[in-house]
Amino acid sequence: MDKVAIWLLVMWFGLKKKLRKEERENGWSRDMDDDASVGDSISSVPDVGGKSKHDIWRSRDSEFFYGCSNASSKFMKADTITRPSRYLMIATSGGLNQQRTGIIDAVAAARILNVTLVVPKLDQRSYWKDASNFEDIFDIDWFISFLSNDVKIVKELPSGPKVTTMRVPRKCNERCYEKRVLPVIMKRHAVRLTKYDYRLANRLETDLQKLRCRVNYHALKFTSPILEMGKFLVQRMRAMSKHFIALHLRFEPDMLAFSGCYYGGGDKEKKELGAIRKRWKTLHGSNPDKARRQGRCPLTPEEVGLMLRALGYSKDVHIYVASGDVYRGEETLAPLKLLFPNFHSKETIASKEELESFSRFSSRMAALDFIVCDESDVFVTNNNGNMAKILAGRRRYFGHKPTIRPNAKKLSKLFLNKGNMTWEEFSLKARSYQRGFMGLPHEVRPGRGEFHENPASCICEDSDAKAMRDANLRKFGSGKDPTKKEEETKDHEADDESEPTDPDTDGDLLLQERQPANETMLDYEGFLTDEPELEDILSD
């Protein structure tokens, strides 16, 4: 070897040593090898997270959008149109948020039929085994008074009418109710609709959609004890940090068993989850690799943590986790806690005594998680079930607060290959894949998705203020392109399968809307089955 080659070799080693020192100073592990990648160890992830060009605690352009759900002048008062002595009753199903969708739709159904609604009865015999009544969860007097101009509501069915029980098809539209339910209610005076969840069409005329929003975002108010405890939990999170993330983890054994996914636990995992899977006779054999490629597997806690760090959330960020019993408990949670040591839940920030009046009721505990997740600066959902949808829509309505849904289809490929790339490469790709999945305005086109998740009819844009902002940007040459948001959602649009429009039928067709291929397909909408345990477990 000549002197020049030796000199070049020495210089190369010196440069490598210098780069390694800089990596340590920027937060990388001291134990990293020269060619270490993000796949080698969580300790290789910099404390400061990925680099983001935008404020990671707020949605861009959110100030130009606001919730607008007031009725139009054409929407007649309830006193004018309500048929006398005609009553609609419903029997809700599932957990808190599944029942919430039923209550919202029941109000709209009563308006379609122009009848009096009896305050809905909550499901007390489901998997959740919660004996709470409507008034134990929601402020019943506020519910009735707030909606008095829209629908007449009574607490109990008056004596006299004999109740007729029936069921309507899923996604039943206005004509379906008028054809199937109205003749019965006119003849029998009182009808109870059973298993009332997703029994109303996704798309209705605008005034009915706005009524849904008034019910969801204004009339359904939790009781004072729940609101006060929820506010208390939020205050404790705020006392620890100015900002915090709420994570709806959804990594319970039942969820994983239903998904048919595999998480590297060997024969023990396959045996444990396989035994749970046998509970449901309608489930067919699973193909874990195919499910993961299609984005139908929830991310592991470690993967959720890596995604958040890549998006720019540093190690010192505080996380509130809303979750049931995580599969394999602390062993599974350990990597997430290494990535985010400031790890909290309602059980860690409140004492047993403080939670005592709530802990015996699953719906009241779920309501506390709902409040903290709603008030969080950033909400992260690891599946697309009822709670995730309701919260996503609510956060859009009240100011487009950041709501992160993992692009599971693309991220799954990234996680499988993470051992072959540096942290910078990994974080850059993760940020690219999450465009269109961050809860920004216009991420989802109006009419796309489930209405409770994307209440486009109830969100208005301050176009004048936005136009003035854009004009100033062009005038003063800030360099920001007002049309850039279209480019940023390109990946999201490409992944989505086109959704079918609601058929103009009387509801005989049980419409199962197609999910985008990159969604985690573990939500209640993803299957039409009458197995109550399956529906109840997966509902929230």
Structure tokens at 71: 């009725």
Instruction: Please state which of the ranges 406-415, 483-492, 512-521 shows the lowest mean pLDDT.
Output: 512-521
At the topology level, CATH places domain 52-62+226-251+298-456 in Rossmann fold (3.40.50)
Q: Is the dihedral of CA 160, 166, 172, 176 positive or negative?
A: negative
Distances in whole angstroms, Cα of residue 75 to Cα of each of 107, 331, 397: 14, 56, 21
Give 257's contacts (C-beta < 8 A, 6+ positions apart).
Answer: 273, 274, 276, 277
Q: With cut-offs at 50, 70 and 90, classify the pLDDT of residue 518.
A: very low
CATH node for 82-221: 3.40.50
Instruction: Please state which of the ranges 267-281, 369-383, 526-540 shows the lowest mean pLDDT.
Output: 526-540
Domain positions in the chain are 52-62+226-251+298-456, 82-221
Q: With cut-offs at 50, 70 and 90, classify the pLDDT of residue 472.
A: low
DSSP 521: -
Give the burial class of 271: count Cβ atoms within 10 A of its Cβ; 0-12 exposed, 13-18 middle, 19 or more buried.
Answer: exposed
Contact in structure between 190 and 432 (CB atoms under 8 Å): no
Strand ranges inside 25-170, DSSP E: 65-67, 87-90, 116-118, 153-154, 163-166
pLDDT in tens, 14-73: 554 554 444 444 433 333 333 446 766 676 788 887 777 789 999 988 899 999 999 999
Q: What does the pLDDT read at residue 470?
A: 67
Q: What does the pLDDT read at residue 54?
A: 82
Residue carrying the six token digits 């290789």: 44
Q: What does the pLDDT read at residue 40?
A: 63
Alpha carbon distance 395, 384 (integer Å): 15
Average pLDDT, the chain: 83
Q: Which residue has the higher pLDDT, 285 or 408?
A: 408
CATH topology match: 52-62+226-251+298-456 vs 82-221: yes
If one counts every other C-beta atom within 10 angstroms of the C-beta of residue 331, the result is 10
Alpha carbon distance 207, 457 (integer Å): 9
Q: Is the dihedral of CA 510, 259, 393, 443 positive or negative?
A: negative
Average pLDDT over residues 69-87: 97
Q: What does the pLDDT read at residue 25?
A: 41
Q: What does the pLDDT read at residue 259?
A: 87
Does residue 11 have a pLDDT over 90?
A: no
Average pLDDT over residues 2-23: 51
Q: With cut-offs at 50, 70 and 90, classify the pLDDT of residue 488.
A: very low
pLDDT in tens, 199-248: 999 999 999 999 999 999 999 999 999 999 999 999 999 999 999 999 99
Average pLDDT over residues 373-402: 95
- The proportion of the chain whose per-residue pLDDT surpasses 90, expressed as a percent, equals 61
Average pLDDT over residues 244-262: 92
| b/e code 500-516 from CB counts within 10 Å (16+ = b) | eebeeebbeeebeeebb
Q: What does the pLDDT read at residue 501?
A: 35
Does residue 163 have a pLDDT over 70?
A: yes
Q: What does the pLDDT read at residue 460?
A: 94
Q: What does the pLDDT read at residue 37?
A: 62
Q: Which residue has the higher pLDDT, 496 or 41?
A: 41
Q: What does the pLDDT read at residue 5?
A: 54
| b/e code 4-36 from CB counts within 10 Å (16+ = b) | eeeeeeeeeeeeeeeebeebeeeebbeebeeeb
Among residues 382, 261, 363, the alpha carbon closest in space to that of 321 is found at 382
Q: Which residue has the higher pLDDT, 160 or 229?
A: 229
Does residue 355 have a pLDDT over 70?
A: yes
Q: What does the pLDDT read at residue 27?
A: 38
Q: With cut-offs at 50, 70 and 90, classify the pLDDT of residue 290.
A: confident
**pTM for the full model?**
0.83
Q: What does the pLDDT read at residue 445?
A: 79
Distances in whole angstroms, Cα of residue 267 to Cα of each of 251, 260, 270, 274: 19, 14, 5, 10
Contact in structure between 470 and 463 (CB atoms under 8 Å): no
Structure tokens at 421: 């790339």
Average pLDDT over residues 332-338: 96
Q: With cut-offs at 50, 70 and 90, classify the pLDDT of residue 529.
A: very low
Query: Number of H helices and number of E strands within the chain?
Result: 24, 12
What one-character-per-residue DSSP string does 262-302 give?
Answer: --S-HHHHHHHHHHHHTT-TT-----HHHHHHTT-SPPPHH
Give 207's contacts (C-beta < 8 A, 6+ positions apart).
Answer: 71, 72, 74, 75
If one counts every other C-beta atom within 10 angstroms of the C-beta of residue 476, the result is 8
